[in-house]
Every structure is written in C-alpha cells, then in structure tokens.
Chains A and B, each alone.
Chain A
Amino acid sequence: MRLRDREPPLVIVVGSGGVGKTTLAAAMGLVSAGAGHDTLVMTFDPSLRLKDTLGVGERARGQDVDVEAGTRGRLVAGLLDPRRTFDQLVARYAPDSVARERILGNRFYDQLAGSLAGILEYMAVERLYEAHETGGYDRIILDTPPTRQALDFLEAPARIVGFLDSGALKIALKEWFDDQGRLKGARKWGFLGQSFERWLDEIVGLDLLRDMAEFFKAFGPLFEGFRKRAQDVQALLQAPQTRFVLVAGPAEERIPDALFFARKLGEAGHHLGPVVVNRVHPLVEADPAGNPGRELLAWQGRRDQAGIERLGALLREHPLVTIPLLPSEPTDLESLMALGRQVEERLGGREGVGA
C-alpha cells in the first residue's frame, strides 16, 4: 500500500489508545492529498492543537471542512460526533416530523439511548459509509474512535443487526401500556395485575418502561432502514480494497495489544495492511559517562528493538513499518507532512509483502 497510488480508497487506522493514531491519520491524509487524491480524513477526538493545525474547529462537527494545505488534491477534515449523526439518522428515517419529534424529545433517547447496543460506535461507521457513498472522495482515511473494546465499532453493524434479530426488540415493540399509561391488562387481572404492576414499578420503574416502550414504538419504523444500512456498512468494511492500518506502540509490553488487533481483524474478515510501529526510540550506544536521559533512551531503544523483532516474527505476513520517536508531536502542516512522507517512504519500501 502506498498513499500516492489510487488504491486503497478506504484506509482505516486502528490501534490502542495513546499510540498516535490521530496524528498519523492526519499525516497520511496530507500525503494522499499531496499526491493529487481528494482525501477525507475523519477523526474522532483530535487534540486542540491538531484541530488548529488542520483549521477545523467546532465547525467540522456539523460538516466536513476543507483544510488549507495547498495540496494538489483536496484535503477535507471531518470530526465524528456520534450523537449528531444519530440525530441526523433519526431525521432521515423518521416517516414524518411528528415521529421525528417524538423520538428526539423522548427522555429515554435523550439520556440513555446513546449507548444502547453499541449505537455510538455504529454512528462512526455510519458516517463513514455516508461519506463513501456520496462524498465524491478518492480516498477516505478513518481514525477510529476510542471505544470500550477497541474494536467494538467494527462489530457495531453486526451487533445492531443482532439486536434487531434478538427478540428484545419484538418484546419492546409489544403494546405494553394502555392510553392512560397503565400496564395493559393489569386492571383486568384485578388484584394480581395490580400487584404485578407495583412489583415491576419497584424493580425498574414504570416511568422508565413507559419511556422505553414509547421510544421503541417511535423508533420501530426506522429499524428496517437501519438493518439494510448496517449490512451495507458491514460489506464496505470487509471489501477487499478496504485496508486496515494497525498502529502499535514499540515496547514489548504493547505486543499483546497489536496481536489482539491483528487476530480480531482477521477473524472478522477484514484486510489488515501494514502494521506501523510508532514512536520507536533510537538505538543508542551504551555510554559509561552517560547522563540519565541517555541511559533511559538507551534502555528504551533496546526494549523497542526486542519488541519489534518479536512482533515482526509473530506478524510475518504483514509488513512492519517503524516510525522513530520525534522530538515533539507534529503541530503544524509542515511537520505533519514530514511525518507523512516518512510513513510513505517506509510503506513504499515494503511493497509486495502482502499489502
């Protein structure tokens, strides 16, 4: 894989928290746009300074924003805001404005629905799909969100479908309450029904159940649209031309993380391309008259070297690309571009090794 080539159209950057995914995604976006490809970089949670560097503030939450980088191709940045995407999705699939307002105004939706069944993670892929279908970009680079289980978001479409098929929804969609907000049948069953209602109120609270029932009833018509969509998103993630770039920390203790990702991606039928080992400490000659900084760096350099060798042996079929630790994180377009070029250079040297 090389960013100056036309393929792959979709690059998904994954890895544990704190390994520098977002910065690398932005750097790769710059190189891609520099090579003349119209490129969208979607990030989840960039640092304040990176936002400044790319010139995307809060504005980018609502719409994708052009980055003034002077590249041959367009470079566009988008910030992922799951809640907003969800609201937009509701607006799109709701049959009419009454239904839409009923969902958006629902207390359950407002407080809780955001984390129901991985919907937040799903929103990230949802917007990716949207951009892929209608954005007109040559390439999209997705910086994956910091999720619970780091790969939750990849499984999100399947989980949504699983949720829809689980029967939980069927139960939720039953007419549980009459138009006075009382549990249906409770009165018909006399004393028994009333104590059941009281008991239910005790355990989970009837108010919540009413809100939930209301939410699912309002949401019901949307689910079919969701379902089809989730399957399409799933197909896009598994498409052979979609490439996953795994970013890993160099230390030996981070190896299990990298292996975990590689295994999970393989199991889920995704195509893992290069593994980028980021922030590798230099190999330093031991120096008896050394200073504490040198001593630490020398130790870290040896540790990283051992880690990389082991990782290379374990992930033999994937090209390993190492990026040295920089004096400081890139904070302007120039240093981002320099980092991007380093990545590209190293990717180029590993051609034909399965990527």
Chain B
Amino acid sequence: MGDCYHRAGYHAATMTQPSFDARLLPLLVVTGKGGVGKTTVAAALAGASAGLGHGTLLVEVDPRENAHQMLGIPPSGGEVAEAREHLWLQNLRPRDVLDRIVRDRVRLAVVSRRIIESPVYQQFAEGCPGLEELAILGHCSSCLKGEVLARHRIDRVILDAPATGHGVSLLAAPELVADAITAGPIGRLAGELSELVRDPDRCGVVAVTKAEEMPMDETLELLEALRDRLHRRPEMVVANGLYPEVPPDFEPRDAVDRLWVDRRRVNERQLERLGGRWDGPRPELRQLPMERGPELVDRLAADLRAQLRGSGR
C-alpha cells in the first residue's frame, strides 16, 4: 500500500483535520486489537473530551467490565453512570438493545417475552450477521438524541469498540445490513447508520496500536481496510505503551538497561514504519509506572491533549 495516505483526493472533507479540541465529532469509535490498551486510551480520550467541557459518554462493549476501574467508579451494570463532571460511562450489552427493540415494537408484554425467550429469536439475535454491530452503533447514535441526551447533556459518545476481528467489521456492518434489508425499521436504521459511519463530520475512528510488530501489522491493515471499504481515514493513530526515550549518550550498564534500550528500539522501528504509511495525527503514549485508575487516565488525557493541540493541518 506504500504511500496511499499521502496521495491526495480520496475524501476531500477529511483532508483538513482540525485538532481534537476544535472539532467536536459526536461519535468517536476507538478500535484496536486485544492487548494494546484500547480501553485505557478510550478512557483517556473521554477524560480529555470531558475536560474540555464536552458532555461525554464512554460506551464499553465487554461483558467483563473494565472501564469503570479506569474512571474509579463501581461497575455500571448496564446503566448510564456519572463518573465525574461532563463524563458518563455505560457498559452495553448488545442483546439488551435488541430485546428493547422487540419490547418497544411488540407492546404486549406476554407476547414480547415469548418472542425473546424463543430459541428462534435467540438464534437470530446471536447469529444474524451484522445485527449486534447494528445494535451497538444504533445505541450510540440514539444517545446523541432524545431521552438520554435530555437527561445527561451528552455532546459526544466515545465507543470502546469490541476487540473482535477488525474494527472495520463493526463499521461496515450497517452497509452490509442495509444492502440486504432495504425497507422497514431495520433497513432504515441500517441506512441511517451507514450514512453516519461515512460522515467525517459526525463519526471519527481512533486506531489504537502498540509500537510492536504484530499490533502494527494489524494497524496498517486496518488503515488499508478503512480506506478501501469505507473510504475513511481515522482521526488519529494512537501509539500506546511506549518505553521511555533513551538519551543519545546513554551507556547501558547491565542487562536491565539493555532490555530498556532494546525494547525502545523496537518501538522506534515500528513508529517509523507507521510514519511511512500514515501522515495524520499520531499521538504517542508512554508506559507509566502507575496502576490503572483515574490518576493514570488523567495523566494520559493531559498527554493526549498536549499532543493533539494544533495537530490539524
């Protein structure tokens, strides 16, 4: 793919990217493979966004809740929970969203319960391709209007996307469903969401990676897939978990020093690889000797804000 991101003109609107501060994207989808610190970065972005005074809802899709630890609150159990000023957290179970749609459409409780409990529905809800992704994005989109918005003044939703396969499959799902289902409520929702996902003024993608070989392979593949399938480029690629920089005149004394120097060298080699393929914002986050929690999130949020200020071209 070489210099694909340096070539001009595949999406005019994305060619000028104002900084994170200046541009309020209503939906930010944070994506990355397992183990890169996606939830940490999503929490830091949410912290940075809330710190700027934007009402921010962090949505986590993982049955094993994690994000609440980052924000220092008890597990939200599926509800929208306030973490601090301007910042809310919700752990989302896609099935709940689907069940709620059934309950809303089929008002008779006895009937809707029978539907929800039937094996046919359960197979459908679990197995129907694209449906879960549709539910997740649909929920995020609905948080930006209507009831939830009225209650919590949310300007922005940050989605900590499930660590499944490629983030692209989440983002491509609405279009896939919209192709198959052209009419009716599901078709309309899929159509709306596929427009949302394509709209660079309403939806942004944040790719999180580690500056190590395997995660970087995957990130470069992600950039390629975003471009080819969705004609999008991410808002930024966050390189997480870097070892501290080694001073130029540093002489390693022992194996421990050498381990640091070697691991940092791996980081730098991979950052260089990224730089060759991606010319957009590329904040770097260091590994810090700190437990996961609000203090770490604040530190990283401050780092992100400092690096993203004026990063637009």
Complex CA–CA separation, A329 to B263 (angstroms): 9
Q: Are A168 and B129 touching (Cβ within 8 A)?
A: no
User: A49, A116, A328 — which one has the most chain B CB atoms within 10 A of its CB?
Assistant: A328
B184 touches A203 (CB 8 A): yes
Q: Which residue of A lies closest to B126 (CB)?
A: A117
Most chain B CB inside 10 Å of its own CB: which residue of A149, A282, A296, A331: A296
Tell me if B243 and A296 are in contact (CB < 8 A). Answer: yes
Decide: A296 and B289 in contact? CB cutoff 8 A. Answer: yes
Q: With A16-B35, A171-B120 in contact, is A291–B183 under 8 Å at CB?
A: no
Residue A295 contacts which of B162, B183, B289 (CB distance < 8 angstroms)?
Answer: B289
Task: Tell me if A284 and B127 are in contact (CB < 8 A).
Answer: no
Nearest A residue to B182 by beta-carbon distance?
A: A205
Q: A293-B261, A327-B258 are in contact. Are A17 and B124 (CB under 8 A)?
A: no
- Given A204-B181, A282-B256, A296-B243, A18 contacting B123 (CB threshold 8 A): no
Q: Give the nearest-CB partner of B166 in chain A.
A: A146
> Interface with A: B22-30, B208-216, B222-230, which one?
B208-216
Contact across chains for A293 and B243 when beta carbons are under 8 A apart: yes
With an 8 Å Cβ cutoff, the count of chain A residues facing the other chain is 58
Chain A residue contacts of B183, Cβ below 8 A: 201-203, 205
Contact with A along B299-310 (1 / 0, CB 8 A): 000000000000
**Is B263 a contact of A112 with CB atoms below 8 Å?**
no
A221 within 8 A of B: no
Of chain A, the residue at the smallest CB distance from B287 is A296
Chain A positions within 8 Å of B, measured between CB atoms, are 16-19, 22, 47-50, 108, 111-118, 146-149, 162-163, 166-168, 171, 201-205, 207-208, 211, 249, 253, 256-257, 260, 282, 284, 291-300, 325, 327-329, 331
19 contacts between A and B (CB under 8 A): A17-B33, A18-B33, A18-B35, A18-B215, A111-B179, A115-B130, A117-B126, A117-B127, A163-B123, A166-B120, A166-B122, A204-B186, A205-B187, A253-B292, A293-B244, A293-B260, A296-B287, A296-B289, A300-B287
> Do the beta carbons of B264 and A293 come within 8 Å of each other?
yes
Chain B interface (Cβ < 8 Å from any Cβ of A): 33-36, 63-64, 119-120, 122-124, 126-130, 162-165, 176, 179-187, 210, 212-215, 217, 243-244, 246-247, 250, 255-266, 287-289, 292
Q: Is the CB of B34 within 8 A of A49?
A: no
Q: B residues within 8 A CB of A201?
A: 183-184
Cβ of A291 to closest chain B Cβ, rounded Å = 7
Asked if B185 contacts A203 (CB within 8 A), the reply is yes
Inter-chain contacts of B180 with A (CB < 8 A): 108, 111-112, 205, 207-208, 211
- Residues in A with CB closer than 8 Å to B255 are 282
B26 CB to nearest chain A CB (Å)? 27
Distance in Å: Cβ of B256 to nearest Cβ of chain A = 5
User: A-B pairs with the 5 shortest C-beta distances?
Assistant: A18-B35, A17-B34, A293-B260, A299-B289, A327-B262
Q: Which of chain A's residues have a CB closer than 8 A to the CB of B260?
A: 291, 293-294, 296-297
Tell me if A47 and B258 are in contact (CB < 8 A). no
- Greatest chain A CB density within 10 A among B33, B124, B289 is at B289
